[in-house]
C-alpha cells in the first residue's frame, strides 16, 4: 500500500490563513500596528530573487509589511553590518532575514553577518543565541529555524506522536540537520543524526520511525532502506537531467520518491512538501515576533526598578545628595518605561532625548491621569514647588508602585549662576545629576538663543538693506541669478501667496509687485523682537545698536532679554509636532510695517532656518529622580511673561507611556494666579488635555508672610516670626491659600493642598493650615516631608492625589476666546487676582485696536505681572482688595499663540546680586566633577 502524501501546500495554506487572522486581531487592538519584515539581499542572484519574491508574496497575503532591502554586489562587510544595525534599531521591523548566499565581490564573513541580526528579530533562527537556546530546550524563548519548524508541523499533520519514537536525521547543517535533531529530541524522540561519514547508513535508516533527510544528494535514500510505515520528510531540492522537461531537468529530493512511497506510511513530495512550509514558518516566526513585541510593549507595562535612599541627618547639601546616588544608565530607564531603542538619542549615560516618532506609535493608547502642581503666592525664597513635584513622583512610583512621570521645566543659567542656584528640586527629592540638569543639559536653550538672535539679525539687516537700495537692486539681490536664471525659494513663494501674487516666475512680476515683494517697510519704532542671552546681565536691559561706521548711521535703541523670555521658548513649550512648530515659528510677529501690517519671520524668510536650528530642541529630555523615576525636562518659558509651563509634547508622551492607570505630574511656574491660570487657559487649550488634580503647595513660612510678617530676603537669616509659633499671624495669612484654592476651583478641578513642612513648623501650625484648607474646599490637605525623607515623606500626598483623581470634576476654561481682548483681561483680573476692574493705559488701548485689526483678537491672554502678589504691587501680600489693575501695554506672541498684557514694570533680564552663585561653582580638574553646592540646606524644609 502506497504512503499517504503530506502536502506542504495544503498545510502551509492553513498556516497562512491562521496567521492572517492573527494579524487582523493585532490591527483591531492597534490600527497603526503591522508586523514588519525586512529581507536583506546582497547582489542579484536569480535563485535568491525567486525565493525572496515568494516570501514577499506570502507576507503581503498575510498582512505583514515586508521590505526588500537590496545592497549591490560591491557592498562591503561593514556596509552589510551597518544595514543590519539600522534594521535592528527600527522598532517597526520585527523580523530580519539575511538572504544567503551573500553575493558580493568582497569577502564577507557569513557567520559574523548572521550573528549581527538581533536575536529578537532573527526569524530565520540562525543566530548563535537562538541556536543555543534551542539546543538547551528553551523553545519558548527563541526562534526555531524555518525548515525544521515546517518539518515538525508536517509530522504533526500525520497524527503520529513523536514521543518515544526512534528518529533519524540525515544531515547536520546549521539550517536543517542540527536544529531538526534538537526539535525531535525536545519532542521526546530518541534521535540519531547521520551524515556522510556514518557507517551502515541503510541500517540506521531502517530503524527510523521518523526519517528527516537534508543531505543535499539527489535520491540518495532508497525505498528499501526505509522501515515499513515510517514518516519520511524529504528536505532535499536537487536538479537532475530530464529530457522530457522543457528545461532539460527536473527537481527531486534526497529520497528516491517512487520506491520510498511504497514503504513509508507518510511521505512529503518534492516539490510541494517541505518548501512551502519553510516560507509559512518564516511568516509564523515574524507574526510571533510581532506578538512578543506587542506583549512586551503594552501601554503602561513597566518593569522598573527603584533606588534606595541612604538618608542622612542633618540633610547634606543638594550636590552631596545628588552624588550619593548612582543614577541608572539612561538607556536602561528608557527601556523600563516602554521606550524603544530607536526612539531614544543618548547624551552620555544620564540624559537622553526622545524622538517624536513615539507620538505616532502610541497615538491609539489611552492616557494616564494628569496632575498639575502649583503654589500659593511665593516668597522670594521659593516654597518647594519643584521639590514637591519630584517628591510626589517618588512617592507614587517607588513607594506606591504606580507608573508615574514627572514633567518639569529646564532651568535658565541666569538664576543658576545668579541668585537662585538651580531648579532640580532639593534635598532627597531632586532630579539627578543636578549639575547636568542645571547647566547645559542637551543644549535646547542654546538652540533658542541662536534661533532668536538670527531673527534679530535678520530684522536689522533687512531694514538696513531696504534703506540703502532701490527696489530693483533689492529684488535682484533677493532673487539672484544662478546658472543664468532667477528662482524663488519655497519660502519666497509663501510670501508671494500671502501678498496674493500667484506667480512663480521671477521675471513675470510687475514693478508694483516687485516693490510689494521686496519691501517689508518695517517701522523701526514698532520692532518688538529683542536679542537674548542666558545670563543675568542687567547692563543689556537697554542698549544702542548700529554704532559701527559700516552701518551708515543706522542706529536705534534696543535691549536684551533673557533667553527663556524669548517667544521661541514659548513656541517650543506649546508646540505639538515638528510641523506645528514650523507653522508657529513662521507666524511670529516681529514688527509692524509703516502701513500697519504685521511682519512675521516668514516675511523675513528666516522661519525655515529657525526650524532647522530647533529640530533637536523639540525632542523632550529624559532624566531621573534620586529614586529612579523617569523625568521629562523640556522647555522653560518665563512664567511672569510667557505661560511658565513645561512642554505639551513632554506631557503628551508621558501620559501615553504611563498607561491608563498611571500618573503624569507636571509643574506650573510661580503661584496659582500665574502659572496655574496660564496652564489651564493657554496650555490646556492648545494641548486638548484635561487635568484630574491640582496640587497646591503651601508653607507655614509663606503664609505668615501673607499674614503681615516681615520681609524675607534670600541668603539672610529668617526673622523670628517665621521661626517661632504664631498661630494668629498664620491664620491671617491663610487668606492667600484660600484664594488660590478658589482660583483652582474656578476651573472645576479637585484641589489637594501639600503643606511643605519645615523643621521650624509646629504641630499646631501644620494642623491649622490643613484644617483651613479643607474648610476652604480643598479635597484634602496633607503635610509633606519629602525634602528630608524623599518619596517616603510624600506618600500621604500621593494617596490623596490618587483619591482626588477618582473624584468627580467638571473642567472648564475661565473665559471664551471670542470675548474682546479687554474683557478677557478683565475676567482674569477680577476672578483670579480679586481686582475691582482694569485700566487700559493709552499704549495698551492702541494695541487692543491694532491686534484686533490684525486678527489676533481671539488669542488667549498671558498676563505679565509680578509673581510676589495677587495684585500688581509686589509688596501687597495676603489677598489685596479694592485695586484697579493697570495695563500699561499689550504685546503679541502670535507664533506661541497668545497676547501678553504688561501689568506694571518688570525686567525681562534679571541682574546679578552682590554675591552670585557662581562663587560656589568650580571644576575639579582631576575628577572633572563640578563642585556645585546649590542652595544652602538652610532654610530649606527639613
CATH number assigned to the domain comprising residue 631? 3.40.50.300
Domain end point (choices 614, 633, 665): 614
Shared domain check, 457 and 432: no
pLDDT at 911: 85
The C-alpha atoms of residue 103 and residue 115 are separated, in whole angstroms, by: 18
pLDDT tens digit string along 371-383?
999 999 988 767 8
Shared domain check, 343 and 271: no
CB-neighbour burial class of residue 285 (10 A; exposed 0-12, middle 13-18, buried 19+): buried
Tell me the average pLDDT of the chain: 93
Q: Is residue 894 part of a domain?
A: yes
Domain end point (choices 614, 640, 672): 614
Shared domain check, 627 and 600: no
pLDDT at 47: 87
Q: Give the chain's count of helices (H) and strands (E).
A: 34, 37
pLDDT band at 822 (very low <50, low <70, confident <90, very high): very high
Shared domain check, 212 and 130: yes
Shared domain check, 145 and 18: yes
Residue 920 has pLDDT above 80, yes or no: no
Residue 412 has pLDDT above 80, yes or no: yes
Taking the chain, what is the end-to-end CA distance rounded to the nearest angstrom? Answer: 91
What CATH code is carried by the domain that includes residue 872? 3.10.410.10
The pTM of the full predicted model, rounded to 2 decimals, is: 0.88
pLDDT tens digit string along 855-887?
999 999 999 999 999 999 999 999 999 999 999
Which residues are catalytic, by number? 55
Which residues, including other chains, have CB under 8 Å from residue 455's CB and lie 6 or more apart? 529, 588, 590, 601, 604, 606, 610
The C-alpha atoms of residue 655 and residue 577 are separated, in whole angstroms, by: 16
State the cell numbers at 105. Answer: 565581490
pLDDT at 929: 79
**8-state DSSP, 380:** T
Q: Is residue 588 part of a domain?
A: yes
State the cell numbers at 860. Answer: 488667549
* Cβ neighbours of 800 (radius 10 Å): 23
User: Which residue's entry shows cell 499671624?
Assistant: 729
pLDDT tens digit string along 109-149?
999 999 999 999 999 999 999 999 999 999 999 999 999 99
What CATH code is carried by the domain that includes residue 598? 3.30.1510.10
Shared domain check, 733 and 646: yes
pLDDT at 936: 41
The residue ranking higher by pLDDT, 932 or 466, is: 466
Residue 360 has pLDDT above 80, yes or no: yes
Q: Is residue 573 part of a domain?
A: yes
pLDDT band at 639 (very low <50, low <70, confident <90, very high): confident
- Which contiguous run of DSSP H or E holds residue 677? helix 677-678
pLDDT at 35: 96
Q: Is residue 509 part of a domain?
A: yes
pLDDT tens digit string along 772-808?
999 999 999 999 999 999 999 999 999 999 999 999 8
Shared domain check, 435 and 343: yes
Residue 669 has pLDDT above 50, yes or no: yes
Q: Is residue 518 part of a domain?
A: yes
pLDDT at 714: 66
Torsion of CA 674, 676, 677, 679, to 10 degrees: 120
Q: Is residue 227 part of a domain?
A: yes
Give the domain extent around 575: 445-614
Domain end point (choices 595, 614, 633): 614
What are the CA-CA distances from residue 20 to residues 13, 24, 226, 568, 722 (Å)?
A: 10, 6, 38, 48, 71
Shared domain check, 97 and 149: yes
**Among residues of the chain, what percentage have pLDDT more than 70?**
98
State the cell numbers at 518. Answer: 521686496
Helix 274-296 to helix 46-62 angle, to the nearest 10 degrees? 50
- For 608-622, b/e burial (b = at least 16 CB within 10 A) is bbbbebbeebbbbbb
pLDDT at 434: 87
Q: Which of 307, 424, 309, 313 is nearest to 942 (CA)?
A: 313
Q: Is residue 59 part of a domain?
A: yes
Q: Is residue 285 part of a domain?
A: yes
Q: What are phi and psi of 649, to 5 degrees?
A: -60, -45
Shared domain check, 269 and 201: yes
What CATH code is carried by the domain that includes residue 42? 3.40.50.720
The C-alpha atoms of residue 452 and residue 566 are separated, in whole angstroms, by: 7
Lowest mean pLDDT among 243-252, 620-629, 684-693, 754-763: 243-252
**Among residues of the chain, what percentage have pLDDT more than 90?**
82
The C-alpha atoms of residue 598 and residue 526 are separated, in whole angstroms, by: 10
Shared domain check, 29 and 144: yes
Provide mean pLDDT across the span 828-852. 96
The total of structural domains in the chain comes to 4
Shared domain check, 417 and 390: yes
pLDDT at 222: 95
Asked if 632 contacts 408 with a C-beta cutoff of 8 angstroms, the reply is yes
Provide mean pLDDT across the span 803-829. 96
Residue 23 has pLDDT above 70, yes or no: yes
pLDDT at 915: 76
pLDDT tens digit string along 491-534?
999 999 999 999 999 999 999 999 999 999 999 999 999 999 99
Shared domain check, 11 and 33: yes
Provide mean pLDDT across the span 429-449. 93
pLDDT at 699: 95
The C-alpha atoms of residue 845 and residue 888 are separated, in whole angstroms, by: 9
Asked if 671 contacts 659 with a C-beta cutoff of 8 angstroms, the reply is no
Amino acid at each position: 500500500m502506497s504512503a499517504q502524501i503530506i502536502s506542504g501546500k495544503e498545510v502551509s495554506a492553513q498556516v497562512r490563513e491562521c496567521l492572517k487572522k492573527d494579524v487582523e486581531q493585532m490591527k483591531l487592538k492597534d490600527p497603526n500596528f503591522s508586523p514588519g519584515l525586512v529581507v536583506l539581499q546582497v547582489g542579484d542572484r536569480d535563485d535568491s530573487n525567486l525565493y525572496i519574491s515568494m516570501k514577499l508574496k506570502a507576507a503581503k497575503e498575510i498582512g505583514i509589511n515586508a521590505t526588500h532591502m537590496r545592497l549591490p554586489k560591491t557592498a562591503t562587510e561593514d556596509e552589510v553590518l551597518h544595514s543590519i544595525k539600522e534594521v535592528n534599531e527600527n522598532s517597526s521591523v520585527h523580523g530580519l532575514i539575511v538572504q544567503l548566499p551573500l553575493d558580493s565581490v568582497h569577502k564577507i564573513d557569513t557567520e559574523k553577518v548572521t550573528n549581527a541580526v538581533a536575536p529578537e528579530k532573527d526569524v530565520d533562527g540562525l543566530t548563535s543565541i537562538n541556536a543555543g537556546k534551542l539546543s538547551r530546550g528553551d523553545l519558548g524563548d527563541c526562534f526555531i529555524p524555518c525548515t525544521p519548524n515546517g518539518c515538525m508541523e508536517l509530522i504533526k499533520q500525520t497524527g503520529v506522536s513523536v514521543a518515544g519514537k526512534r528518529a533519524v536525521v540525515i544531515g547536520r547543517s546549521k539550517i536543517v540537520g542540527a536544529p531538526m535533531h534538537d526539535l525531535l529530541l525536545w519532542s521526546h524522540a530518541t534521535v540519531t543524526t547521520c551524515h556522510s561519514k556514518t557507517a551502515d547508513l541503510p541500517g540506521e535508516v531502517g530503524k527510523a520511525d521518523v526519517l528527516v533527510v537534508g543531505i543535499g544528494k539527489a535520491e540518495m535514500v532508497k525505498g528499501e532502506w526505509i522501515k515499513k510505515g515510517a514518516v519520511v520528510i524529504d528536505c532535499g531540492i536537487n536538479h537532475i537531467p530530464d529530457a522530457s522537461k522543457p528545461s532539460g531537468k527536473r527537481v527531486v529530493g534526497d529520497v528516491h520518491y517512487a520506491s520510498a512511497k511504497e514503504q513509508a506510511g507518510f511521505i512529503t513530495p518534492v516539490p510541494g512538501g517541505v518548501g512551502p512550509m519553510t516560507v509559512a514558518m518564516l511568516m509564523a516566526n515574524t507574526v510571533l515576533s510581532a506578538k512578543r513585541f506587542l506583549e512586551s510593549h503594552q501601554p503602561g507595562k513597566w518593569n522598573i526598578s527603584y533606588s534606595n535612599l541612604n538618608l542622612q541627618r542633618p540633610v547634606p547639601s543638594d550636590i552631596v545628595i545628588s552624588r550619593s546616588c548612582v543614577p541608572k544608565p539612561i538607556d536602561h530607564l528608557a527601556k523600563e518605561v516602554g521606550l524603544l531603542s530607536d526612539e531614544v538619542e543618548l547624551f552620555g549615560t544620564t540624559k537622553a532625548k526622545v524622538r517624536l516618532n513615539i507620538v505616532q506609535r502610541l497615538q491609539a493608547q489611552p492616557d494616564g491621569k494628569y496632575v498639575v502642581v502649583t503654589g500659593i503666592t511665593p516668597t522670594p525664597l521659593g516654597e518647594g514647588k519643584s521639590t514637591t513635584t519630584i517628591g510626589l513622583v517618588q512617592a507614587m512610583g517607588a513607594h506606591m508602585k504606580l507608573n508615574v512621570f514627572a514633567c518639569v521645566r529646564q532651568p535658565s543659567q541666569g538664576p543658576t549662576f545668579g541668585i537662585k542656584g538651580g531648579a532640580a528640586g532639593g534635598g532627597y527629592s531632586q532630579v539627578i545629576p543636578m549639575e547636568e540638569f542645571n547647566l547645559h543639559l542637551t543644549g535646547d536653550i542654546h538652540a533658542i538663543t541662536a534661533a532668536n538672535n538670527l531673527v534679530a539679525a535678520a530684522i536689522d539687516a533687512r531694514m538696513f538693506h531696504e534703506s540703502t537700495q532701490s527696489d530693483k537692486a533689492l529684488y535682484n539681490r533677493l532673487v539672484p541669478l544662478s546658472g543664468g536664471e532667477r528662482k524663488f525659494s519655497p519660502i519666497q513663494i509663501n510670501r508671494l501667496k500671502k501678498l496674493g501674487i500667484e506667480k512663480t516666475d521671477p521675471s513675470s512680476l510687475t514693478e508694483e509687485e516687485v516693490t510689494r515683494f521686496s519691501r517689508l517697510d518695517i517701522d523701526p519704532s514698532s520692532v518688538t523682537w529683542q536679542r537674548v542671552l542666558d545670563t543675568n546681565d542687567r547692563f543689556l536691559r537697554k542698549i544702542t545698536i548700529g554704532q559701527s561706521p559700516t552701518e551708515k548711521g543706522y542706529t536705534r535703541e534696543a535691549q536684551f532679554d533673557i533667553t527663556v523670555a524669548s517667544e521661541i521658548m514659548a513656541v517650543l513649550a506649546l508646540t505639538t509636532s515638528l510641523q506645528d512648530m514650523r507653522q508657529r515659528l513662521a507666524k511670529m510677529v516681529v514688527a509692524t510695517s509703516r502701513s500697519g501690517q504685521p511682519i512675521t519671520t516668514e516675511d523675513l524668510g528666516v522661519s525655515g532656518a529657525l526650524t532647522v536650528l530647533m529640530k533637536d530642541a523639540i525632542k523632550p529630555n529624559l532624566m531621573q529622580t534620586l529614586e529612579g523615576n523617569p523625568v521629562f525636562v523640556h522647555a522653560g518659558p518665563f512664567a511672569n511673561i510667557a505661560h511658565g509651563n513645561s512642554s505639551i509634547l513632554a506631557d503628551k508622551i508621558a501620559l501615553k507611556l504611563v498607561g491608563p492607570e498611571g500618573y503624569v505630574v507636571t509643574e506650573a511656574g510661580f503661584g496659582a494666579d500665574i502659572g496655574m491660570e496660564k496652564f489651564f487657559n493657554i496650555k490646556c487649550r492648545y494641548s486638548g488635555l484635561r487635568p484630574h488634580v491640582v496640587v497646591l503647595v503651601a508653607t507655614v513660612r509663606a503664609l505668615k508672610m501673607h499674614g503681615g510678617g516681615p520681609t524675607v530676603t534670600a541668603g539672610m537669616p529668617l526673622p523670628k516670626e517665621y521661626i517661632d509659633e504664631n498661630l494668629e499671624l498664620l491664620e491671617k495669612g491663610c487668606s492667600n491659600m484660600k484664594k488660590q484654592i478658589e482660583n483652582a476651583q474656578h476651573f472645576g478641578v479637585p484641589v489637594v493642598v501639600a503643606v511643605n513642612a519645615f523643621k521650624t513648623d509646629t504641630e499646631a501650625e501644620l494642623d491649622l493650615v490643613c484644617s483651613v484648607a479643607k474648610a476652604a474646599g480643598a479635597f484634602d490637605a496633607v503635610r509633606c516631608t519629602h525634602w528630608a525623607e524623599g518619596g517616603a515623606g510624600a506618600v500621604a500626598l500621593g494617596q490623596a492625589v490618587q483619591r482626588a483623581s477618582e473624584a468627580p470634576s467638571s473642567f472648564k476654561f475661565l473665559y471664551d476666546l471670542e470675548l474682546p481682548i479687554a474683557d478677557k483681561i478683565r475676567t482674569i483680573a477680577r476672578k483670579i487676582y480679586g481686582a475691582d476692574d482694569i485700566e487700559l493705559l493709552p499704549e495698551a488701548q492702541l494695541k487692543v485696536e491694532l491686534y484686533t485689526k490684525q486678527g489676533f483678537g481671539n488669542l488667549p491672554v498671558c498676563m505679565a505681572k509680578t509673581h510676589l502678589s495677587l495684585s500688581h504691587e509686589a509688596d501687597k501680600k495676603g489677598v489685596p482688595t479694592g485695586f484697579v489693575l493697570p495695563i500699561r501695554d499689550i504685546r503679541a506672541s502670535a507664533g506661541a499663540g497668545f497676547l501678553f498684557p504688561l501689568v506694571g514694570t518688570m525686567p525681562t533680564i534679571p541682574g546679578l546680586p552682590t554675591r552670585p552663585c557662581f562663587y560656589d561653582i568650580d571644576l575639579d580638574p582631576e575628577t572633572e566633577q563640578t563642585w556645585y553646592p546649590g542652595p544652602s540646606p538652610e532654610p530649606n524644609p527639613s
